[in-house]
A = this chain, B = another copy of it.
Amino acid sequence: MKEIGRLARAASHRLALLASTDKDAALSAMRMRLEGGREAILAINARDCAEAELAGQSAALIDRLRITSLRFDEMTGALTAIRELDDPVGTIVVERRRPNGLVIQRRRVPIGVIAVIYESRPNVTVDAAALCLKSGNAVILRGGSESFETNRAIHRCLASGLADSGLTADAVQLVPTTDRDAVAMLLGGLDGAIDLVIPRGGADLIARVKRDARVPVLGHMQGNCHVYIDAAADPAMATAIAVNSKLRRTGICGAAETLLIDVAAEEGLARGVVCALLDGGCEVRGDAQVQLLDSRVRPASDADWTTEFLAPIIAAARVSGVTGAIEHVARHGSGHTESIVTEDLDAAERFLAEVDSAIVLHNASTQFADGGEFGMGAEIGISTDRLHARGPVGVEELTTYKYVVRGSGQTRR
């Protein structure tokens, strides 16, 4: 493991200085090799899936593990999409000329070496490799044990692509063991060889990484997202946004998990939203007042207010206007994404200012919480941490900066 860290550090120094065209050529070569490995990867993945079934893994895990033909196309497509992004490295973010003649530039540079620890989705192997390469970082990948052979097969193609284009394969390394000690060593930082750990997976994985890491971590804990329907909401818009936020896809972190309805909202508005969710196949777990709206509403437990269901289930409460909504989110939210639906601009601005989440929206679905939808291209995740990066983490968020100062002999008085 220490050798992996040493090689990654050495590679990171070379990656930091690469021209955009060289990185883009490597991403193209990686795509070619991945396309070439299609049949082999699908066959190996089928075996991983069969073994996971034999081992009695859950259907949800096996679904995440499985690479369908469509998902394979998405993986190769991601390489193209990331290649086409602007290179963030070298950008001058700020430039100041000081009275003494010094010219001070703040210039984007890569973070260095990033370890990505993830679970069963093998597409993360491709996404993380490509996003780190584009942003000039070396990456050490550690996937889940059930997808180990699939990840190895994908990684072999990516490494061949790097070699084809004359880059070192040390830029993208896969931990060659399923040994759990390897994770502990990554979290220990490999003697200073790792600058950042990014966990991708369930709440247990992320909690463990946050607890044990001796190096900085960028991760999202969970997305307990809220939709608040204000009394002044347009009824049709409120229904459309609530249903889309919850049901478009229930398994993503930007899916709504709690519906808040203003106590002052007319009964037609409140009932319309709740019934649309119920009619759409969603279980609604409501407080006493929400239960009055429809007999299908079940009672909510205390735990429901903080649960990330990732399923067609939503908790629902009546709250005292925008103040009540802000308080409810502050008490139960996870700082991910919250939306207010209202035609009252003052209420909207208060909600946008006072809700302390990575993403706050007015009259739009929480499912827009996504790097692609934000115009950032692909993302490696959505950060609910407060430092370095908040919200979608794309190639720009995978960089840091340095100050470059040019003088003509200045000394300080």
Measuring CB to CB, which residues of chain A are less than 8 angstroms from any residue of chain B? 13, 16-17, 96, 98, 102, 104, 109, 111-112, 195-196, 216, 218, 234, 237, 240-241, 243-245, 248, 330, 348, 352-354, 356-365, 367-368, 370, 373-375, 385-388, 390-391, 400-413
Question: Distance in Å from the Cβ of A23 to the closest Cβ of chain B?
Answer: 16
A-B contact pairs, 28 of them (CB 8 A): A13-B330, A13-B356, A16-B356, A96-B375, A98-B373, A111-B387, A112-B356, A196-B386, A216-B216, A216-B387, A218-B387, A237-B409, A240-B411, A352-B404, A356-B402, A358-B403, A359-B403, A361-B405, A361-B406, A363-B406, A364-B405, A364-B407, A364-B410, A364-B411, A365-B410, A387-B387, A388-B388, A390-B403
Residues of chain B with a CB closer than 8 A to A330's CB: 13
Cα-based distance from A400 to B358 in the complex (angstroms): 10
Chain B residues with Cβ below 8 Å from A370 are 412
Residue in contact with A403 in the complex, picked from B218, B240, B353, B360, CB distance below 8 Å: B360
Taking a contact as CB atoms under 8 Å apart, the answer to whether B98 and A353 are in contact is: no
The answer to whether A104 and B375 have CB atoms under 8 Å apart is yes
Do A402 and B391 contact each other (CB < 8 Å), given the known contacts A102-B368, A386-B111? yes
- Residues of B within 8 Å of A373, CB to CB, are 98, 102, 412
User: What is the copy number of this chain in the assembly?
Assistant: 2
For residue A156, give the distance in angstroms from its CB to the closest CB of chain B.
31
- At the interface, is chain A mostly helix, strand, loop or mixed? mixed
Partner of A362, one of B111, B406, B413: B406
Q: A365-B412, A412-B365 are in contact. Are A98 and B375 (CB under 8 A)?
A: yes
Q: Which residue of B lies closest to A359 (CB)?
A: B403
Question: Across the interface, which residues of B come within 8 angstroms of A245, CB to CB?
Answer: 411
Select the residue from A354, A363, A368, A391 with max chain B CB neighbours within 10 A: A368
**Which residue of B is nearest A236, CB measured?**
B409
| Distance A399 CA – B96 CA, assembled complex (angstroms) | 20
Nearest B residue to A195 via CB reads B386
- Closest B residue to A355 by beta carbon equals B402
| B196 in contact with A407 (CB, 8 Å) | no
Residues of B within 8 A of A195 (CB): 386-387
